[in-house]
Every structure is written in C-alpha cells, then in structure tokens.
Amino acid sequence: MSNPTHPPAVGVLDQGPEPTFPPGFLWGAATAAYQIEGAAAEGGRAPSIWDTFSHTEGRVVGGHTGDVACDHYHRMPDDVRLMAELGLKSYRFSVSWPRVQPGGSGVANQEGLDFYRRLVDELLANGIEPWLTLYHWDLPQPLEDLGGWPVRDTAARFADYASLVADAVGDRVKYWTTLNEPWCSAFLGYGSGAHAPGRSNGADAVRAGHHLMLGHGLAVQALRAALPQAQLGVTVNLYPVTPASDAPADVDAARRIDGLANRFFLDPMLRGSYPEDLVADLAEVTDFGHVRDGDLEIISTPLDLVGINYYSRHVVAAPVPGEEPEKYWRAPSCWPGSEDVRFVTRGVPVTDMDWEIDAPGLVETLRRVHEEYTDLPLYVTENGSAFVDTVQDGQVDDVDRLAYFDAHLRASHEAIAAGVPLRGYFAWSLMDNFEWAWGYTKRFGMVWIDYDTQVRIPKSSARWYAEVIRRNGLAAQ
Ligand code: IFM
C-alpha cells in the first residue's frame, strides 16, 4: 500500500506510536437502505419521500435516483461475504420503512421483512453483529401526504413501525438505533428543502424535529417493552461550532448555531428539556405550541447508548449588514431564526463535499457529549469522507480517504484516553452509494462501485481498515 505523498489532512493528531483500542471495541461500517438497496419497486416496496423527491426534476444532481443504487437488495449475500473478508465486527444498516410497511401504517409487508431476516441471518452466520437503524430518512410517501414529520401522528406511526420490525428480527438483533441524524430530516427536509420532502418552512422544520424526537421516545418505549435485552439508542450528527473571532457578535452566532445544530436534539433527548436560549432564538419562528405536556418525558426515555456521526466543524460569524449569508448546502433556510449567520471557510483542506477536515473536532465532540450530557457508552456511528477516486489497473488507491480515517481514529483514541466511554466506530461508508441530493457524484465508500456493472473493488482504505480491525489498532498507511 502506498504512502500518501501529500501533506497530512488538517487536524491529523500526534502521529506517535500506533494506538491500540480497548478489547472488544466494535469495528464496523455503515450504510443506509435508500442509498444502497435499489429494487425500489420490488418485493412489495412502495415509494418513500426520497423516491418522490429524486424523481422530481431538479432535485438531485444528474436526475439520479435510488431505483437501482448498489443493487444490494439482490447482491446482499455477496456483500456480506465482502464484509466478512474485511473482518468487520459489526454492520450498521437501516431498514426501509416503505419496504416493510408500504403504507406507513397498518399491515406489514412480509416479503420486505424477509429481506431483513435474511440479512440478519447472513450477518450472524458470518460472525458480524447486526446494528439496525430504524429511520434513515425514507418516510413512506403516504405519511408525507398526510403532513409528514411536522404532523404529530407521524411519531405514533413510527413507534408502530418499530414494533413491527422488533417482532420480525428482535430475537437476533442486539443493537438498535431509532433515528439517523434527525437534524437532516427536520432542517434539510422541511427547512431548506435540500432533502426530501423538499419543503421550506422554518416552523415546520422545528415541528418536524420535535415529532422525530417524540417518535424516537415512543419507539424506545415500544422496543424496551418488546426486547428487554436490546441495546437501544439514537444517532445524532454533531458539529463543534466555533466563532470566527472573539468578538461578542461572533460568539453569539456560534451559540445560536450550536443551539440549532446540536443542543436542539441533545438537550431534549438526554436532559428532557429544550435549551431556553434556543426557544428564545426561535421566538419569531414558532411559539413551541406543538410541544404537549409529557412529550419531553417521552423524548428523554432512558437509552443504553448514544451514536454520534461526525464529519466536520462549523465556523461561524455574525452577519455583516447588507451582505448575503453564504449559500450552499448550509443554505440559510436550514437555520430558522438565524438565517443571517455567516458560515466561514478557513482555507484548510476539504473533502469532495467541501467539508473542512478537522479531526480534533471529533475529540471535542465526543468529550462534550460525555462531559456535558451523559455517562452512556458512545459509538461513532458514522465518520468518513468523499474524495474523487479513480480506478487504475483495477485498483483504487484512495490515499486521502485513508488519511482521513487514520486521523479520525487517532482522534477516537485520544477521546478514549481522555475518559470517553467510546465503544465502537463505524466507517461511512462500506461502499460508494447514492449521496442524497448529490446522487452518485460523491463517493464515500471503502469499496468502489461501478454503477454500470455493479462490480465492487475494495479500495486501499478498505484493506487498511481490515488491518486496523485485525490489530485492534492503527496500522501503518
Ligand atoms: O451519506 C450520508 C449519510 O446518509 C448520513 N450521514 C452523512 C453521510 C454523508 O453525507
């Protein structure tokens, strides 16, 4: 394997002796249903909001859809064999709600559930611990037609769906996470509209965020009753938010964005309350009249673990009067009530998503959750990077991605050394896949997918990660 010849990514930590991880550290890789399965109209599956969105002109780059994706639905046994070859200890996948309950309520689709029964059996037969996420953004379209996540009833529907999946595979799946990245579902789905269902209304985004968390709490209660042995949690995407300067206005901008990005979800789920400053910041957007007595008790139902997805840091500054805030995926409308905050780029190396590479931010994030919120075991349930890959002589030498993983695993180790009960790490992603509004133009995988032939090629990062897992510690690059 070649050494990267370029300068190390920003934030690569002390390169000293290769760190080893605690015994039993859960090494995994993650994917999500709509991003890899394909078979969108097979086996009784009905459309989700992402089918509708991706089939709407102008929503996804290149008009790409998840209709075929990585064809994982048909190639699942081979994909599990590949995971076993890489030595994965765990595989984090999501269940497609519209595959197992096409109407979003009512009867289950046994053919859909059978797919996940087979997947779980295949994983266990290969010694791989299944890690099941119930909701990775694919709301059944019939529920969106009734109002989607801004409507309270969707939370109850989610808990029913959770019970139905528990009945099907609860005897064999130990690790369960309810939601993946509720910030994205709420604020990209209903705030900026960059994600399905593509609506743009600040109050709806806030309501959606609340009902997602209510659904999470109700689902945890249902799962706890049905599966007393299970390990239950939720996955949030967190960012350190840093002011661009010490100026009080910049510090206040950071407080506001931290409120919307992080504390909006951490406080209700882990403390049972919304932060007062966030409620005040949102006063012109919503009066929080959608929050009913008892909701926060449900939302803060005790968990067994917390999953953290980490990619980058936000550096923010106060608005400059008369200047448009920067626009791209962090479109101002993602940040109701704080649309005028500026997101500052520092000129440090970025990934192909233009996300700044900042491994120390992972240490900060893990320490913050542990020191300010909870003693629960933490897991990095996603971490990874998109880069432009090329196939040469049948190989993909993805040195930048490998360096990104290396830096963030060093950061994970540093967090453990600082006392964080970090119990596992899931690389995002096992394979290249449908990157939402970016379609197939961004590659996050450790395994290359040729979308014409569906040939899979493990990249250099995959082989390196396999060695990391084998050693339970970092391997030379
Ligand atoms: O691909 C996504 C994933 O679905 C959720 N977390 C971030 C990844 C990269 O954007």
pLDDT digits (tens, 9 = 90+) for 26-83: 999 999 999 999 999 999 999 999 999 999 999 999 999 999 999 999 999 999 999 9
Lowest mean pLDDT among 12-21, 290-299, 376-385: 12-21
What does the radius of gyration of the chain's CA atoms come to, in whole angstroms? Answer: 21
- Residue 150 resides in a domain: yes
Ligand 1 center to residue 433 CA distance, Å? Answer: 10
Q: Is 37 in the pocket of ligand 1 (CB under 6 A)?
A: no
The answer to whether the beta carbons of residues 239 and 319 sit under 8 Å apart is: no
From residue 28, alpha-carbon distances to 59, 78, 81, 145 in Å are 31, 17, 14, 36
DSSP 220-239: HHHHHHH-TT-EEEEEEE--
CA distance 326 to 345: 10
Residue 325 has a pLDDT of 81
Query: Which DSSP symbol is given to 67?
Result: S
- Residue 341 resides in a domain: yes
Instruction: Report which ligand 1 atom has the smallest distance to the Cα of 309.
Output: 6
Ligand 1 center to residue 26 CA distance, Å? Answer: 20
From 179, 436, 449, mutation site for ligand 1 pocket: most ligand atoms within 8 A of C-beta: 436
**E strands, 23-140, in order:** 26-30, 90-94, 129-135
Q: Is 32 in the pocket of ligand 1 (CB under 6 A)?
A: yes
- Looking at the 3D structure of the chain, how many domains does it have? 1
The answer to whether the beta carbons of residues 158 and 215 sit under 8 Å apart is: yes
Which residue has its alpha carbon closest to ligand 1 atom 1?
435
From 435, 440, 442, 443, mutation site for ligand 1 pocket: most ligand atoms within 8 A of C-beta: 435
- Residue 100 resides in a domain: yes
Q: Is 181 in the pocket of ligand 1 (CB under 6 A)?
A: yes
**Range 120-134 average pLDDT:** 99
Q: Is 138 in the pocket of ligand 1 (CB under 6 A)?
A: no
Report if pTM > 0.75.
yes
Ligand 1 center to residue 439 CA distance, Å? Answer: 12
Determine the structural domain holding residue 116 and report its residue range: 26-471
- Residue 284 resides in a domain: yes
The answer to whether the beta carbons of residues 262 and 308 sit under 8 Å apart is: no
CA distance 435 to 252: 33
Cβ neighbours of 44 (radius 10 Å): 17
CA distance 267 to 109: 36
Query: Which DSSP symbol is given to 136?
Result: S
- Residue 78 resides in a domain: yes
Instruction: Report which ligand 1 atom has the smallest distance to the Cα of 444.
Output: 9
Ligand 1 center to residue 435 CA distance, Å? Answer: 7
Residue 320 has a pLDDT of 87
Contacts of 443 by beta carbon, 8 Å cutoff, 6+ apart:
352, 386, 387, 388, 389, 432, 435
The answer to whether the beta carbons of residues 26 and 129 sit under 8 Å apart is: yes
Residue 3 has a pLDDT of 31
The answer to whether the beta carbons of residues 401 and 384 sit under 8 Å apart is: yes
Which residue has its alpha carbon closest to ligand 1 atom 10?
435
From 236, 429, 430, mutation site for ligand 1 pocket: most ligand atoms within 8 A of C-beta: 429
Relative to beta strand 456-458, strand 447-449 is antiparallel
**Range 382-391 average pLDDT:** 98
Measured at the CA of 412, the angle between CA 138 and CA 174, to 5 degrees, comes to 50
Instruction: Report which ligand 1 atom has the smallest distance to the Cα of 137.
Output: 4
The residues assigned a catalytic role are: 181, 382
- Residue 427 resides in a domain: yes
Residue 329 has a pLDDT of 64
Ligand 1 center to residue 16 CA distance, Å? Answer: 31
Q: Which two structure tokens, joined as six digits, stand for 347?
A: 């000129």
From residue 233, alpha-carbon distances to 204, 221, 307, 443 in Å are 25, 11, 7, 28
- Residue 14 resides in a domain: no
Q: Is 435 in the pocket of ligand 1 (CB under 6 A)?
A: yes
Query: Which DSSP symbol is given to 84?
Result: H
Instruction: Report which ligand 1 atom has the smallest distance to the Cα of 35.
Output: 4
| Digit-coded pLDDT (tens) for 231-251 | 999 999 999 999 999 999 999
- Residue 17 resides in a domain: no
Q: Taking the C-alpha atoms of 240, 243, 246 and 247 in order, what is their torsion angle to the nearest 10 degrees?
A: -150
3-state DSSP assignment of residue 476: coil
CATH of the domain at 220: 3.20.20.80
Confidence tier at 327 by pLDDT (50, 70, 90): low
Instruction: Report which ligand 1 atom has the smallest distance to the Cα of 429.
Output: 1
From residue 20, alpha-carbon distances to 5, 14, 264, 414 in Å are 25, 14, 35, 11
| Digit-coded pLDDT (tens) for 157-172 | 999 999 999 999 999 9
**Nearest alpha-carbon partner for 281 in 257, 317, 299:** 257
CA distance 46 to 109: 10
Q: Is 309 in the pocket of ligand 1 (CB under 6 A)?
A: yes
